Amino acid sequence: MKLIYTFSIYLYLFAIHIASLFNTKAKLWIDGRKNIFQKLKSQLPISENGLIWFHCASLGEFEQGRPLIEKIKKEFPETKILLTFFSPSGYEIRKNYSGADYIYYLPMDTPSAAKKFIGIVKPKIAIFVKYEFWFNYLNELKQQHVPAYLICGVFREDQHFFKSYGAWFRKQLNCFSHFYLQDETSKILLENSGLNNVTITGDTRFDRVFEISKNVKQIDIVKQFVADEKIIIAGSTWDEDIKIISGLDLHAYGFKLIIAPHEIDEPTIKSTIQQFNNLTIVRYSQANEQNIKTADVLIIDNIGMLSSLYQYGTIAFIGGGFGKGIHNILEAATFGLPTIFGPNYSNFIEAKELIYLRGAFSVSGTNELKKTIDLLNQPDNLMTASTSSGNYVLSRTGATDRIFKSIFEHKVL
């Protein structure tokens, strides 16, 4: 099975090389790993106490790991932190993140690469965030007696670990020193598989978004656009989301609309604009004191502003629910915004819990969206949903401190 796994890694690498000839992200994936071991050897100084290695698949996992990274840096400022990403969408956006000392792509999970990487880095501790179960890296860490922790872990019954053919895959899980999980379901699944080194600590994203909401910066152009109007903020939208939203009669509901697309390339921005051709639209990059006052729709054509935008919202529509899955709804909920999203949310605990608490709503099309806006346009309903959202986030903060104390309480770095 190990040979089949490693062969599949090489097959994936071959496919990425082919894709890199015509796909920008695939090219970044390949180029970012060129000469990676030479970079590691030349840029990583030998540390007396070793360093802590964090690995995140992409940007979402980074946001979960970030509170713990910053907690460690605050408590142990001399400790060096290495941060690796699998995906360009994580690395390219956070490659200059000041909270980590070294940031790289993770080399492919082959036996030789894993051995070489661990041999160069010599981590004192390895922390994997939520997902990413790379067999050769985990195996090498165990052989080198390096503690490996999974934080913000979520497990589902339909994962390959828990299938009849999953015995080999479950062996990967034995390489972890401890699992810090988000929910009871994950705990039960692991315990039923013979893994008792588990603790439910929650999701560090609650700490992150709560912190953002308390230190949010004002954005003058957005403030001018909002004035005293009710605002729908459509965050991380894809084309399918825009098709649904564009069916709303904003004027009839008395709303303005802010759209922050997931992709901000020119074709995406133009496509979004075309679907609102009966409204006055302004791009953020072209907004000024004159045109912003008469605009119905403001399109955010930059990256990094979304989490601050929610402070101006009345209702949030979160993108991705008509594709692989919804994007971050907690960034909106922490500001007390009711959230609306498409039907593909089953893998997101917070979405299911907020729907149960009536702080979130799933829609399958424009008609359901209209009904939901009708509902939330009534002050009492809006207040109830807003309160549920804000209280939900507040009640679930503290995961970062719980994980930190468990790992480091009796250790001095």
Residue 118 pLDDT class (50, 70, 90 cuts): very high
- 137 and 83 within one domain: yes
- 295 and 168 within one domain: no
**Residue 6, domain member (yes or no):** yes
Calculate helix-pair angle for 349-356, 379-395, nearest 10 degrees. Answer: 140
Close Cβ partners of 204 (under 8 Å, ≥ 6 residues apart): 64, 65, 66, 67, 68, 151, 152, 399, 400, 403
- 229 and 173 within one domain: no
- 249 and 137 within one domain: no
Residue 148 pLDDT class (50, 70, 90 cuts): very high
**Residue 364, domain member (yes or no):** yes
Q: Which domain holds residue 227?
A: 211-395
Beta strand ranges found along 142-251 (DSSP E): 148-153, 178-181, 198-200, 230-237
- 237 and 160 within one domain: no
pLDDT at position 242: 97
Rounded Cα distance, 152 and 182, in Å: 5
Helix (H) or strand (E) holding 24: helix 24-31
The C-alpha angle with vertex 243 and arms to 241 and 246, in degrees rounded to 5, equals 105
Rounded Cα distance, 324 and 74, in Å: 36
The amino acid at 307: S
Rounded Cα distance, 237 and 240, in Å: 8
pTM of the full structure: 0.86
Nearest to 16, CA basis, from 33, 30, 4: 30
pLDDT at position 312: 97
Does position 396 have pLDDT exceeding 60, yes or no?
yes
**Residue 42, domain member (yes or no):** yes
DSSP 3-state assignment of 397? coil
Tokens linked to 391: 């209280």
**Residue 269, domain member (yes or no):** yes
- 252 and 174 within one domain: no
**Residue 366, domain member (yes or no):** yes
CATH number of the domain at 255, please.
3.40.50.2000
Residue 410 pLDDT class (50, 70, 90 cuts): low
Phi, psi angle pair for 3, to nearest 5°: -65, -40
CATH number of the domain at 159, please.
3.40.50.11720
**Residue 237, domain member (yes or no):** yes
Q: What is the pLDDT of residues 49-85, one digit of tens each?
A: 579 999 999 988 999 999 999 999 999 998 999 999 9
**Residue 413, domain member (yes or no):** no
Residue 341 pLDDT class (50, 70, 90 cuts): very high
- 188 and 165 within one domain: yes
Cβ burial, residue 254 (10 Å; 0-12/13-18/19+): exposed
Q: What's the mean pLDDT in 342-369?
A: 96
Nearest to 255, CA basis, from 288, 228, 274, 218: 228
- 380 and 245 within one domain: yes
- 129 and 72 within one domain: yes
153: left (phi over 0), alpha (psi -120 to 50) or beta: beta
- 182 and 74 within one domain: yes
DSSP 3-state assignment of 56? strand
DSSP β-ladder status, 102-105 and 281-283: unpaired
Domain count, the chain: 2
pLDDT at position 35: 94
- 298 and 229 within one domain: yes
DSSP β-ladder status, 230-237 and 255-261: parallel
> Could you tell me if 27 and 20 are in contact, meaning their C-beta atoms sit under 8 angstroms apart?
yes
Calculate helix-pair angle for 379-395, 205-214, nearest 10 degrees. Answer: 120
Q: What is the pLDDT of residues 194-227, one digit of tens each?
A: 999 999 999 999 999 999 999 999 999 999 999 9
Q: What is the pLDDT of residues 365-382, one digit of tens each?
A: 999 999 999 999 999 999
The C-alpha angle with vertex 33 and arms to 30 and 37, in degrees rounded to 5, equals 155
Q: What's the mean pLDDT in 320-334?
A: 95
- 294 and 235 within one domain: yes
